[in-house]
Amino acid sequence: MTVTLNQAKGPEFTRIYSYGAARGEVAVPNDDLIGPIDSSDEWIRQRTGIVTRTRAVPTTSATDLATEAAREAVERSGVNPADIDLVIVGTISNVQQTPSMAAVVADRIGANPAAAYDSNAACAGFAYAVAQADALIRAGAAKYAVVIGAEKLSDIVDPTDRSISFLLGDGAGAAVIGPSDFAGISPTVWGSDGSKADAVGMDHTLIEFRDGESAWPTLRQEGPTVFRWAVWEMAKVAKQALDAAGIEAKDLAAFIPHQANMRIIDEFAKQLKLPDTVAIGRDIETTGNTSAASVPLAAHRLLQEHPELSGGLALQIGFGAGLVFGAQVVVLP
Ligand SMILES: CC(C)(COP(=O)(O)OP(=O)(O)OC[C@H]1O[C@@H](n2cnc3c(N)ncnc32)[C@H](O)[C@@H]1OP(=O)(O)O)[C@@H](O)C(=O)NCCC(=O)NCCS
Cβ neighbours for 101, distance < 8 A, ≥ 6 positions apart = 62, 63, 66, 89, 91, 94, 118, 150
% of the chain surpassing 90 pLDDT: 99
Residue 66 and residue 297 in contact, taking contact as beta carbons nearer than 8 Å: no
The reply to whether 209 falls in a domain is yes
The reply to whether 5 falls in a domain is no
Residue 56 and residue 67 in contact, taking contact as beta carbons nearer than 8 Å: no
Atom number of ligand 1 nearest to Cα 163: 1
Ligand 1 within 6 A of CB of 123: yes
At residue 120, the pLDDT reads: 97
* 173 and 303 housed in the same domain: no
Which of 30, 94, 261, 289 does the annotation list as catalytic? 289
Nearest protein CA to atom 48 of ligand 1, as residue: 320
Q: What is the average pLDDT score of the chain? A: 97
Which of 30, 123, 261, 300 does the annotation list as catalytic? 123
Ligand 1 within 6 A of CB of 47: yes
Instruction: Please name which of 319, 299, 317, 318 lies closest in space to residue 309, comparing C-alpha atoms.
Output: 299
Q: Facing residues of 179 across strands?
A: 14
- Whole-angstrom Cα distance, residue 302 to residue 289? 16
186-239 pLDDT, tens digit each = 999 999 999 999 999 999 999 999 999 999 999 999 999 999 999 999 999 999
Which of 180, 201, 223 is the last residue before a domain boundary? 180
Residue 257 and residue 265 in contact, taking contact as beta carbons nearer than 8 Å: yes
The reply to whether 3 falls in a domain is no
* 214 and 252 housed in the same domain: yes
300 is annotated as an active-site residue? no
Work out the pLDDT band at 104, boundaries 50, 70, 90: very high
**Mean pLDDT, range 153-168, rounded to an integer:** 97
Q: How many helices (H) and strands (E) does the chain have?
A: 11, 14
The reply to whether 318 falls in a domain is yes
Q: Please name the helix (run of DSSP H) or strand (run of DSSP E) that holds residue 313, with its range, or none.
A: strand 313-320
80 is annotated as an active-site residue? no
The reply to whether 8 falls in a domain is no
* 218 and 127 housed in the same domain: no
Cβ neighbours for 226, distance < 8 A, ≥ 6 positions apart = 199, 200, 260, 320, 323
Ligand 1 within 6 A of CB of 225: no
CA atoms within 13 A on the CB side of 144: 19
Cα maximum dimension of the chain: 74
171 backbone dihedrals φ, ψ, rounded to 5°: 175, 175
* 24 and 166 housed in the same domain: yes
Atom number of ligand 1 nearest to Cα 226: 41
Ligand 1 within 6 A of CB of 261: yes
Work out the pLDDT band at 163, boundaries 50, 70, 90: very high
Ligand 1 within 6 A of CB of 221: yes
The reply to whether 4 falls in a domain is no
The reply to whether 239 falls in a domain is yes
* 128 and 240 housed in the same domain: no
* 56 and 164 housed in the same domain: yes
Nearest protein CA to atom 37 of ligand 1, as residue: 223
Residue 116 and residue 99 in contact, taking contact as beta carbons nearer than 8 Å: no
41 CA → ligand 1 middle, Å: 13
Which of 148, 180, 212 is the last residue before a domain boundary? 180
Ligand 1 within 6 A of CB of 162: yes
* 129 and 229 housed in the same domain: no
* 149 and 267 housed in the same domain: no
* 227 and 128 housed in the same domain: no
Residue 283 and residue 223 in contact, taking contact as beta carbons nearer than 8 Å: no
* 173 and 195 housed in the same domain: no
Task: Give the chain's domain count.
Answer: 2
Residue 289 and residue 227 in contact, taking contact as beta carbons nearer than 8 Å: no
Which of 94, 258, 261, 300 does the annotation list as catalytic? 258
Ligand 1 within 6 A of CB of 30: no
Work out the pLDDT band at 1, boundaries 50, 70, 90: confident
Ligand 1 within 6 A of CB of 156: no
Domain containing 17 — which CATH number? 3.40.47.10
35-92 pLDDT, tens digit each = 999 999 999 999 999 999 999 999 999 999 999 999 999 999 999 999 999 999 999 9
% of the chain surpassing 70 pLDDT: 100
Given the DSSP bridges, would you call strands 170-180 and 200-202 parallel, antiparallel or unpaired? unpaired
Atom number of ligand 1 nearest to Cα 263: 39
The reply to whether 172 falls in a domain is yes
258 is annotated as an active-site residue? yes
Characterise 74 by phi-psi region: left (phi > 0), alpha (psi -120 to 50), beta (else).
alpha
AA letter at 307? P
* 174 and 255 housed in the same domain: no
SS (H, E, C) 156-195: HCCCCCCCCHHHECEEEEEEEEEEECCCCECCCEEEECHH
Pocket test for ligand 1, best of 34, 44, 47, 164 (most atoms within 8 A of CB): 47
Which of 180, 207, 222 is the last residue before a domain boundary? 180
Residue 190 and residue 244 in contact, taking contact as beta carbons nearer than 8 Å: no
Residue-range definition of the domain harbouring residue 18: 13-180
Q: How long, in residues, is the chain? A: 333
* 29 and 157 housed in the same domain: yes
